[in-house]
Amino acid sequence: MNDKQTKQVPVSQAVRKWLDEQGYPLEMKVAAKLRASTQWQVRQAWHYSDFESGDSREIDIIATLGEPANKAAVHFAFECKASKNPWVLFTSDDRVTHIYWTRAYGIWSRAAWEAFVDEAGEEVPESAQEAEERAGAAGPYVSWTGPNGYALAQACKGNSDAPYAAVLSALKAARSCLGVAPHVAEVPARTVAHPVVVIQGPLVECKLDSAGEVVVESIKRGCLYFQQRVADIMPQYVSIVTFDGLDEFIAEAKEAADKTHDLFALRFTTK
């Protein structure tokens, strides 16, 4: 077959393949779902300054529930990743014990954290049952559903560093919202930001059952307790959500954001 007989791949097809590999369609679909399901301000490809290096970086989506008086804001920083290979969330039933848990439910400004602590308390739980009870008490103000993990990895082949990089990106972008507000010129005093990683691909939970046997199950969403300290960010819960589980996550996050916003407004008027 000579060069004239060789069929060239259309530019549009080549670009579409590249888009799929880079995950851009996922970002666009997540942003569309957020706009359709909430009244939040949704910004794509938002740039921020890395507070460690000072370099300019980009996060896929920042979704914000603000208010006209600019007294409070609730942010969700979304990092979107497409992967053909499964991501594995390693979980344990006692992962939530002995955690400074109020700090782990979002990255809070001091004023926002004080308002939250006044409502939910800040003692470190000493048992799984106590942790569950405290999580229930704080439930209206945080988005935390699904298996609770202590590690996240990509299985099979591919970029094994992708989960770590995605989590770190979401964390840093969330932290940046406390320094530079994406929706107003001045950062509100009561600000909280939640890091979220959305994946287009399989997510599985890996745990031990009561007999000590390894169990692997497909899940739509979970939470990773990211234990590494990044500058001034306390160890933090990061929501890990598949695209198939995104509708449920948005519904829960919307309720949490509304109630958190109401709590901030109440504390602002009473103190």
Confidence label for 169 from pLDDT (cuts 50, 70 and 90): very high
Which tens digits make up the pLDDT trace of 10-50? 777 777 677 666 667 999 999 999 999 999 999 999 998 88
- Under a CB-based contact definition with an 8 Å cutoff, are residues 202 and 195 in contact? no
Query: 248 in helix, strand or coil?
Result: helix
C-alpha span between 21 and 73 (Å, rounded) = 34
Q: Which residue has the higher pLDDT, 79 or 234?
A: 79
- The verdict on residue 8 lying in a domain is no
- Under a CB-based contact definition with an 8 Å cutoff, are residues 83 and 165 in contact? no
- The verdict on residue 65 lying in a domain is no
C-alpha span between 62 and 127 (Å, rounded) = 35
pLDDT of amino acid 101: 59
pLDDT of amino acid 86: 94
Question: What average pLDDT does this structure show over 125-153?
Answer: 65
- The verdict on residue 60 lying in a domain is no
Query: Which residue, among 162, 95, 170, has the nearest Cα to 125 in the 3D structure?
Result: 95
Which tens digits make up the pLDDT trace of 44-67? 999 988 877 888 999 999 999 987
- The verdict on residue 40 lying in a domain is no
pLDDT of amino acid 100: 54
Total structural domains in the chain? Answer: 1
Assess whether pLDDT exceeds 80 at residue 239.
yes
- The verdict on residue 21 lying in a domain is no
